[in-house]
Structure 1
């Protein structure tokens, strides 16, 4: 049996698609828990028998806080710093956390027009002043780490522009990643800070993805090994792991023994993906925190007898309620937590904070149950007895209601499970945190390059086959598709349009995009696959995203607009001339919009990277010039350039009449032709 080429192509597409879908399903699955080592079965250096029972005592309990993406700015929204001072002066002093994690983007580092980027000492001075004058350092450990905004336009760690080393709390002790051990009672927690900022730090926008060098990864592995001496480990940093490029074995596996990795950076995508949480394949949690910049969000987390719980709170919300037993079913970690304690516990345990004393605290289990009164034990801990055996199977609900003396009230509802039944994480947060952003955009960029090149080359080949009468011109079922095919066909038949469009599409993944001040006073060269600046190489990451959007918003529209313009020129020469202003406008408006938008983008590049980037910028400036040239070529194409297309798309009789009319116009009249021929 003969197998046709089309059948083979479809088989390859199906196999490739199935492989891709399988890979995506594996990446996004939270039920696949990969082994990351044999160190005491991940149980945080505990044996189950050594765990004390969850009763009414406050032993083996600690809590801490996280805040991220402060973006303190000298130009934008002064209330960010005002509210941060309130947070430090009132919220932290009320909650009294053992540790506060500030996970990056401490300052905004944007120019007044929001397009350029540089470090402003005023922003860093404001940050330091708030932390030091609020007095929180007397009772709380403040652990801060850099984010990409804190790294904009920073050529080296030793540079004067690296204000983190002098104006942050931890910068004077640690240039990059570090570990802090917090001890309480007989327990201890290792907090490991991950600095994945690019080194050197380019200006925005090509400073979005983080990267860990081999040296930095080795240091983190040493921290991971040292953390085994502690009961638990908590990792934190600015970038989600999906936005970090790291060498083998990969950052997720290195931090795989930790209870959780706490990060920021994505700002919940402006509210489009709130509650961005997931459990990685190693079994530990990854929890992105909404930003302080616009959302004024912070996190309170607790480790209660090895059980990790947290709640995300908006600034000014009181009371704050955090249930530690039974913990939220969604965030259970069988490989990392002693979940058997939930089934063996004798008391429900809730942490409550408010600005005024609590006068009412009660809990209800499932809808049919009556309210149980929570009794105060010590500090924020409130408890009540319960019979865990009654809730041994399936998922149940727990409701806590609290009121303080000033009338502030709060109610929370959460699911819990004692048999490790658990609900599912939402798709988009899981996809964003468990994927690899750089590889995703690299894949999309490659697909768009293929879309812009391969179909046009195939159509060009078919065009020559039809001209040589080795093939019949395809006729599509729908008239709209047939019209689009004709427009593209006419375009690929013209060398001076076809080759520039193909070469510009091929150039983007290969050639330099621009040469300019990637860092102030440091000339760099940016390619899709990486950046060379200050004698360093930074692998391509967000550049693939820019390449993808360049293809989507410029290259593909340019191909279609040029095809539309040359098709109308073709029809005006061979069928009917353009004779009205609306027809003329319809011919040129698309190209006008596309090239104008590209020129605006080139202007933004000039603001960000300087005049050199404007002049030596194939990505923006030169592509706009190429668009102008193609526009002119399509609008003024001579009839001879379109003769091959006419042989295919114009009926032969109509084609002969058009040629005769041209000849008549050039010679004057039939009599004149006869007279001249004599």
Structure 2
């Protein structure tokens, strides 16, 4: 019977794992030509893509800059401000872009202890002062948009604390999403900013995910249609949140909006901060055919992005502040970033020149290029940053090839860059982690993690409880494997599941967290809110749950699971002591080591409660079943594990006692 049940469980596990792997694989697939069902509209638009004669002309060329997650702070790292000023004065002067995108988190909005969050007017004044003193509006078009930090502790878009309205460049004209159009040469470009900030904007940490209302989705569609009606050639979408972090209250998602307009080349964002250095190049090609490119932050990494559209092809490079010269190869384009639905590959195949943009703070003295291991070719300066060299594409018709470019400026600063290219459609693969982070749905991932940890907390104890009942009815025998550690773990959890005063609180607490309120307090300063796993109520406003699931997962994983393990170990020790009573009472040192793990667990939870108090105040901390009340629950259960009558273990003795019964005292 045990073998049959184990086999069935194993097969079910393999089936579920296979389904999960298949779904994830389909989710992150980026070869849109073969794996995605392209609409008829898109099919027609790819056929009609504009073909260019790519030669040595400086026409059909536009470049721009992006900076993200500046996090100007009055408490941390003053060099963020001083180097940001260098960017506005030196970098912008050297590159001379018609447009600069500032994609959110312009200010830090965190208190000195980094736990609390609110808007600080001084930070916004620093931001505005840098832009004013650098005379940025006289040099370029500065397109800024809000991020979640710019929206901490803001009740409505018109709140006095929403300093973006008065201290940013675009906030004085646009309260949320907007479109800006420019013309460069004979071509027209639309830059559409997507403001997905929550309204109201809670204090951290429940302000991680953005949201677009039905009104905002319709506004974005209106901008794209307006761009098309103005015969604009290209749309560059940008915002703070990656699309995986933007909820939609409408049947259309932000990816649907961006992808359905063939003029839309790319979506540029920030927010993830390279995930702490784990994913420094967070790029992917979305199923709808556009690139999504997360930019590493200015806050810690001092990164910015140079991007260009050259003869219908989008290219970019992310650069560390202060590094010169800056090189961007626009033809042939990087093989990883080709967009078959947006770009005409025939333009590159038939091109006659390699095209390179080179910038520095001083004149460039030398630019040379090399393909594969061939001879270095001297590049000719055409106009501005554009350098070209003739090439014969017939030599590179199949497979992946590599182009290297080396540039030297008047100060003898030397820079070399290498990138792969392909003329036959050969493709490279984006990293798995960036694809998951940018192509998934953060809310779904957080919800799945919460559901899994909830199942672990509730399902395992319930399963052992059911098995115990079946053993009592003699319909099955206790589970036994060939691995001692597994047998020991099963025994401990099994015994714990038979003790009513332990079992019911341990399973009802996670279930409560699924439905009941986690905390009641000032989610926004002077405004009471109620936090649930599935959403938040702030006044008359409702914000659907998203990051709350991740917060709940962390609570169950870091506190409740260890609590179950410690309680299971303690009741098992009680059980063993009854079967084989110790010869002497435990000494003080033994008692210390016995209770030390539990004391550490409680201490860690108290630290989390302290952080929660810093974030949301006293009321939310007192009325907080998620954090504060869980400590009292744990203390009561730990006390019960030591003082409960021996009779509470009688049921477990039927299965686990060597003699089938215990000598117990009531």
For Structure 1 versus Structure 2, the TM-score category normalised by the shorter chain is: over 0.9
The CA distance in 1 between the partners of 2:521 and 2:645, in whole Å, is 40
1:478-493, aligned counterparts within 5 Å? 478-493=483-498
The CA distance in 2 between the partners of 1:397 and 1:493, in whole Å, is 66
The CA distance in 2 between the partners of 1:54 and 1:451, in whole Å, is 59
Report if the CA contact (8 A) 1:56-1:349 is conserved.
Answer: yes
SS at match of 1:66: strand
SS at match of 1:227: helix
1:247-396, aligned counterparts within 5 Å? 247-256=250-259, 257=262, 258-367=264-373, 369-396=374-401
Q: Given the superposition, is the C-alpha separation of residues 179 and 57 from structure 1 closer, same or farther in structure 2, using an over 3 Å criterion? A: same
The CA distance in 1 between the partners of 2:540 and 2:452, in whole Å, is 32
The CA distance in 2 between the partners of 1:524 and 1:78, in whole Å, is 34
| Cα deviations by residue, 1:461-520 (Å, 9 ceiling, x for unpaired) | 222232344433233322222221221122112111110001001111111100010000
The CA distance in 2 between the partners of 1:458 and 1:422, in whole Å, is 48
Report if the CA contact (8 A) 2:51-2:346 is conserved.
Answer: no
The CA distance in 2 between the partners of 1:466 and 1:5, in whole Å, is 14
Report if the CA contact (8 A) 1:562-1:591 is conserved.
Answer: no
| Cα deviations by residue, 1:545-570 (Å, 9 ceiling, x for unpaired) | 11111111111111111111122222
Counterpart in the other structure of 1:93: 93
The CA distance in 2 between the partners of 1:137 and 1:583, in whole Å, is 71
Query: How many residues align structurally?
Result: 653
The CA distance in 1 between the partners of 2:363 and 2:286, in whole Å, is 39
Counterpart in the other structure of 2:630: 623
Report if the CA contact (8 A) 1:93-1:136 is conserved.
Answer: no
Gap regions ≥5 residues in structure 1: 664-678
Counterpart in the other structure of 2:519: 514
Counterpart in the other structure of 2:650: 643
Report if the CA contact (8 A) 1:240-1:265 is conserved.
Answer: yes
SS at match of 1:651: coil
Q: Given the superposition, is the C-alpha separation of residues 417 and 573 from structure 1 closer, same or farther in structure 2, using an over 3 Å criterion? A: same
The CA distance in 2 between the partners of 1:508 and 1:633, in whole Å, is 23
Question: In the TM superposition, what is the alpha-carbon distance from 1:574 to its structure 2 partner?
Answer: 3.2
After superposition, the CA RMSD in angstroms is 1.8
Report if the CA contact (8 A) 1:33-1:280 is conserved.
Answer: no
SS at match of 2:548: helix
The match for 2:245 among 243, 265, 268 is: 243
Question: In the TM superposition, what is the alpha-carbon distance from 1:36 to its structure 2 partner?
Answer: 5.3
Question: In the TM superposition, what is the alpha-carbon distance from 1:114 to its structure 2 partner?
Answer: 0.3
Q: Given the superposition, is the C-alpha separation of residues 129 and 209 from structure 1 closer, same or farther in structure 2, using an over 3 Å criterion? A: same
SS at match of 1:509: helix
1:442-457, aligned counterparts within 5 Å? 442-457=447-462
Counterpart in the other structure of 1:634: 641
Counterpart in the other structure of 1:667: none
The CA distance in 2 between the partners of 1:479 and 1:139, in whole Å, is 72
Counterpart in the other structure of 1:672: none
SS at match of 2:627: helix
Question: In the TM superposition, what is the alpha-carbon distance from 1:51 to its structure 2 partner?
Answer: 3.7
Report if the CA contact (8 A) 1:55-1:345 is conserved.
Answer: yes
The CA distance in 1 between the partners of 2:200 and 2:468, in whole Å, is 50
Counterpart in the other structure of 1:669: none
| Cα deviations by residue, 1:93-147 (Å, 9 ceiling, x for unpaired) | 1100010000000000000100000000000011011112101211200000000
| Cα deviations by residue, 1:517-538 (Å, 9 ceiling, x for unpaired) | 0000100000000000031100
User: Is 2:501 the counterpart of 1:496?
Assistant: yes
| Cα deviations by residue, 1:5-56 (Å, 9 ceiling, x for unpaired) | 766655544443332222111111001344356168445xx945x6441111
Counterpart in the other structure of 2:591: 584
Q: Given the superposition, is the C-alpha separation of residues 171 and 37 from structure 1 closer, same or farther in structure 2, using an over 3 Å criterion? A: farther
Gap regions ≥5 residues in structure 2: none
Report if the CA contact (8 A) 2:492-2:572 is conserved.
Answer: yes
User: Is 2:623 the counterpart of 1:611?
Assistant: no
Counterpart in the other structure of 2:131: 131
SS at match of 2:171: coil
SS at match of 1:350: strand
1:192-211, aligned counterparts within 5 Å? 192-211=192-211
Question: In the TM superposition, what is the alpha-carbon distance from 1:649 to its structure 2 partner?
Answer: 2.0
Counterpart in the other structure of 1:35: 38
Report if the CA contact (8 A) 2:102-2:144 is conserved.
Answer: yes
| Cα deviations by residue, 1:298-331 (Å, 9 ceiling, x for unpaired) | 0000011111000100000000000111111111
Q: Given the superposition, is the C-alpha separation of residues 290 and 42 from structure 1 closer, same or farther in structure 2, using an over 3 Å criterion? A: farther
Q: Which has the larger radius of gyration?
A: 1
Question: In the TM superposition, what is the alpha-carbon distance from 1:263 to its structure 2 partner?
Answer: 0.3
The CA distance in 2 between the partners of 1:63 and 1:264, in whole Å, is 19
| Cα deviations by residue, 1:175-201 (Å, 9 ceiling, x for unpaired) | 110111111121011111001111100
The CA distance in 2 between the partners of 1:11 and 1:478, in whole Å, is 20
SS at match of 1:53: coil
TM-score, with length taken from structure 2: 0.95
